[in-house]
Structure 1
Amino acid sequence: MKKHIYIFVAFLVLSFCFYSCDTDKNRCMKSTGEIKSEKFNLESFSKVQIKSDFDITLISGDEYSLIINCGENLIPYINREIKGNELILENKNTCEWLRKREKPKLTITCPNLKEITIYETCDLKSLDSLYFTTLSIQNWAGIFTTDMILSGDSLFFRSHASTGDYKLEGRCNYAYIYNVGNGYLKARKLFCNYIHAVHKSLGDSEVNPSKRLFIEEIKYGKLYSFGTECPEIISDADEGWEKLFENIGCGGS
């Protein structure tokens, strides 16, 4: 009798666990399914907020759309919501440890992106030039990577206490660069007239100004300038900052 009671209780516990993973069709019991792509046409937005681990490709285009590429059973639970001109993306699939770990791939298309905010580990890239007037990329995730081609007037790139490789290429008039944590900024091929740099990372930062480089602060890793036109260098950093700065483009420090 006791044996039957134990079996019954165990069954109830397991049923509760699976049910509690999801109140909508027991997501825990679903497999990933066949890998498929589904396109969603969206209302207009100029900001993107990333709240889950995705592999994201950004495209400048006339439409507002999102393509999700992952297991067909997971697509319905990748939340896409627009609030106040901001596209918010979050993976609502639960019990990921029961499935093979593969990042959902998202392709975002919009005409003039102004702001990207990252709260969770993410890979961000563009296959061609991403055009903008003013673009803010703000990263709060612990791990973050970029591989982007940019073309615009003003760029604000901020990475807070993060690690990863931040590869930026292209052209802009002005760039504000804020690198804190352990990340490596690889922007020697991002050609800018004016750059304002805050470097407090154990990794290094590479920039390429043509007219002026303003150094607000340097700590830990090194800051390299690849500007071959010998831009003006202005620094408000603490005494001894020169030891962490190298002006490679002009053949000296």
Structure 2
Amino acid sequence: MKKTVFAAILFTLTVIILFSCKPEKKWDCFKGTGKSAIKEVYLTSYDSLYIDGQMTVNLIQDTTDYVVFSGGENLLAKIDATIEDHSMTLKDNNHCRWVRSYKKAKITADVHFSRLLKVIFYKGADLFSPDTLYLDTLIISIWSKIGTVDLLIDAQYTAIKLNAATGDYFLRGKSDFNYMYSVGNGNIYTDELQSKNGDIYCNSTGKTTFWISEKVKLKILNSGNVYYRLPKPTIELVKRDCATGEIFPLSD
């Protein structure tokens, strides 16, 4: 009886996998991740990074531009890094991730760059910096549903934009100007990013924090609360009548 039930379950899963994938890709679901491997891709210079795949991306400031991928060799065979119009795209062309364990399906990309202005997420990737990034401008735009960002930066201008995103996003270090735009349920934490001035648009149910010493323009349009690090700066507050979000000092 148990064998019959197991066989029925296995048959059902096989049918689901075969019919949920495109014909030319359905057999990918039955491939293992393969042995641990490394793949290096050397690139021409670029200033924008597009992330189109579920992976962990480490930003490493360097004098040359290249990417070191690590993961299962079968998965790396379908990972691309391409340049077009001064933009670099990291794309994961693997399918059926849901049939593999998270650890085995994990892909890491160590992105070495000489110049960077923008990072745009199209999939729920994780973005980190092992060391401080010294930049004039850094703009991060999140179009994926779930993501994680934790960067240490020293910049003149930083901007993070959550476009209906969820997840936790941390910016630390220093930036003369801090711009935040939040729509959705994501949490933005910049209370460890020391800034002089800022502009915050909060149409979110998530939490937003900041450390701005002089002046900040703040719009609260939803239920998400905003927290500032003391001492309190000059705050120009605009609040929608139906918004329930409030502004509070951060507690120790």
Q: Distance in 2 between matches of 1:146 and 1:227?
A: 24
User: Structure 1 residues 248 and 74, CA, compared in 2 at 3 Å: closer, same or farther?
Assistant: closer
Alpha-carbon RMSD across the aligned residues, in angstroms, is 2.6
Please say if residues 170 and 190 of structure 1, whose CA atoms lie closer than 8 Å, have aligned partners that are also in contact: yes
Q: How far does the alpha carbon of each residue in 1:21-52 deviate from its partner, in whole angstroms, 9 at most, with x for none?
A: 449xx644532111122222111111011111
Q: How far does the alpha carbon of each residue in 1:52-102 deviate from its partner, in whole angstroms, 9 at most, with x for none?
A: 111111111111010101101221210211110101111112333443332
Query: TM-score scaled by structure 2?
Result: 0.84
2:23 to 4, 20, 25: 20
Q: Distance in 2 between matches of 1:243 and 1:145?
A: 23
SS in 1 for 2:37: strand
Q: Distance in 2 between matches of 1:21 and 1:92?
A: 13
Aligned to 1:147: 150
How many correspondences in the alignment? 234
Aligned to 1:223: 226
Q: Distance in 1 between matches of 2:134 and 2:222?
A: 32
User: Structure 1 residues 200 and 242, CA, compared in 2 at 3 Å: closer, same or farther?
Assistant: closer
Aligned to 2:139: 136
2:234 to 229, 232, 235: 232
Aligned to 2:248: 246
Q: Any gaps of 5 or more consecutive residues in structure 2?
A: 1-14
Please say if residues 21 and 94 of structure 1, whose CA atoms lie closer than 8 Å, have aligned partners that are also in contact: no
Aligned AA (2:193) = L
Aligned to 2:178: 175
Q: How far does the alpha carbon of each residue in 1:201-224 deviate from its partner, in whole angstroms, 9 at most, with x for none?
A: 212111000111111334211101
SS in 2 for 1:73: helix
Matched, 1:123 2:121: no
Q: Any gaps of 5 or more consecutive residues in structure 1?
A: 1-13
Matched, 1:78 2:87: no
Q: Distance in 2 between matches of 1:227 and 1:172?
A: 17
Please say if residues 199 and 217 of structure 2, whose CA atoms lie closer than 8 Å, have aligned partners that are also in contact: yes
Q: How far does the alpha carbon of each residue in 1:107-139 deviate from its partner, in whole angstroms, 9 at most, with x for none?
A: 111122101110111111111112211111000
Aligned to 1:55: 56
Q: How far does the alpha carbon of each residue in 1:179-200 deviate from its partner, in whole angstroms, 9 at most, with x for none?
A: 2211111211011111101112
Q: Distance in 1 between matches of 2:125 and 2:245?
A: 33
Query: TM-score scaled by structure 1?
Result: 0.84
Q: Distance in 1 between matches of 2:94 and 2:241?
A: 50
User: Structure 1 residues 80 and 243, CA, compared in 2 at 3 Å: closer, same or farther?
Assistant: closer
Aligned to 2:159: 156
SS in 1 for 2:90: strand
SS in 2 for 1:179: strand
Identity over aligned pairs, percent = 24
Equivalent positions of 1:95-114 (< 5 A) are 95-101=96-102, 102-114=105-117
User: Structure 1 residues 19 and 237, CA, compared in 2 at 3 Å: closer, same or farther?
Assistant: closer
Q: How much does 1:168 deviate?
A: 1.3
Please say if residues 46 and 114 of structure 1, whose CA atoms lie closer than 8 Å, have aligned partners that are also in contact: yes
Q: Distance in 1 between matches of 2:61 and 2:79?
A: 22
Larger radius of gyration between Structure 1 and Structure 2:
1
Q: Distance in 1 between matches of 2:70 and 2:61?
A: 19
Q: Distance in 1 between matches of 2:83 and 2:64?
A: 15
